């Protein structure tokens, strides 16, 4: 994504005009002298990082686990490159494409080094079962948005990824910490388990409602600019 010919302010204003429904992607891309794909990347960056995404000039830090998760998600058909970038807080499709090439070339995906956002380096913390239920519910409701979840709850990427994976494999019971002194958690009643599962289902339903609303809005915009 080349940004040298346009100031961050110009790009942000253009993206926000599109988001308000005042113009189309094609019109703004043409006005700025960039490809529509580049403009789409800017839209996604704005949605993921806000205005800070355009002020950052250095390289972002990405842990090895995030790289593997993003590549595996794309290769398993969980979404387009743009969708995967948004989901995992990756700054550009070019970055994801490079990781995919490395993966296909059987090269090791190493943690990124350099300046920039280090949100994925957030350290883990001790949590209760109720907190894990809330955190996973939030993550699921927001389309597995790890960036937003880390910012909101101050836990590590590794923790969130592990909890979501355990929930997908075992349900709410997978979030029970059965180590050592965590006896109370391992003795959950059936009612408590059902309540936890119900909370997760509500989160999934809200996510689907949001996705349907977004799709409806996109269709309206497409009809408007045909």
User: Which range marks the domain in which residue 161 is found?
Assistant: 123-223
Q: Are 155 and 127 in contact (CB under 8 A)?
A: yes
Task: Please report whether residue 20 resides in a domain.
Answer: yes
Residues 75-84 have pLDDT tens digits of 888 888 888 8
**Do residues 167 and 95 both lie within one domain?**
no
**Do residues 129 and 175 both lie within one domain?**
yes
Task: Please report whether residue 3 resides in a domain.
Answer: no
Number of domains in the chain: 3
From first to last of its 226 residues, the chain has per-residue pLDDT tens of 444 467 888 888 898 888 888 889 999 999 989 888 888 888 887 777 666 667 654 556 778 888 888 888 888 888 888 888 878 878 778 888 888 888 776 665 665 544 334 555 667 788 888 888 889 888 888 777 777 888 888 888 778 888 888 888 888 778 877 665 444 555 566 777 777 777 778 877 776 776 666 667 666 766 766 5
Q: Are 119 and 150 in contact (CB under 8 A)?
A: yes
User: What pLDDT, on a 0 to 100 scale, did the predictor assign at position 143?
Assistant: 75
**Do residues 30 and 76 both lie within one domain?**
no
Residues 6+ apart with CB under 8 A from 51: 8, 12
**Do residues 16 and 33 both lie within one domain?**
yes
């Amino acid at each position: 994504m080349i940004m040298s010919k346009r100031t961050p302010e110009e790009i942000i204003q253009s993206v926000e005009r599109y988001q308000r429904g005042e113009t189309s992607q094609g019109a703004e891309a043409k006005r700025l002298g960039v490809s529509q794909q580049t403009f789409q990347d800017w839209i996604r960056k704005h949605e993921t990082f806000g205005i800070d995404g355009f002020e950052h000039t250095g390289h972002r830090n990405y842990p090895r686990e995030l790289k593997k998760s993003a590549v595996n998600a794309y290769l398993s058909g969980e979404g387009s490159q743009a969708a995967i970038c948004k989901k995992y807080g990756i700054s550009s499709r070019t970055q994801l494409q490079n990781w995919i090439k490395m993966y296909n070339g059987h090269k090791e995906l190493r943690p990124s080094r350099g300046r920039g956002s280090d949100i994925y380096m957030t350290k883990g913390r001790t949590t209760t079962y109720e907190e894990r239920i809330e955190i996973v519910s939030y993550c699921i409701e927001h389309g597995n948005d790890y960036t937003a979840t880390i910012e909101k709850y101050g836990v590590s990427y590794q923790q969130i990824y592990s909890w979501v994976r355990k929930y997908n494999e075992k349900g709410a019971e997978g979030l029970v910490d059965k180590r050592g002194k965590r006896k109370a958690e391992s003795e959950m009643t059936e009612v408590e388990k059902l309540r936890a599962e119900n909370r997760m289902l509500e989160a999934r339903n809200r996510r689907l409602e949001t996705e349907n609303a977004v799709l409806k809005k996109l269709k309206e915009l497409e009809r408007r600019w045909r």
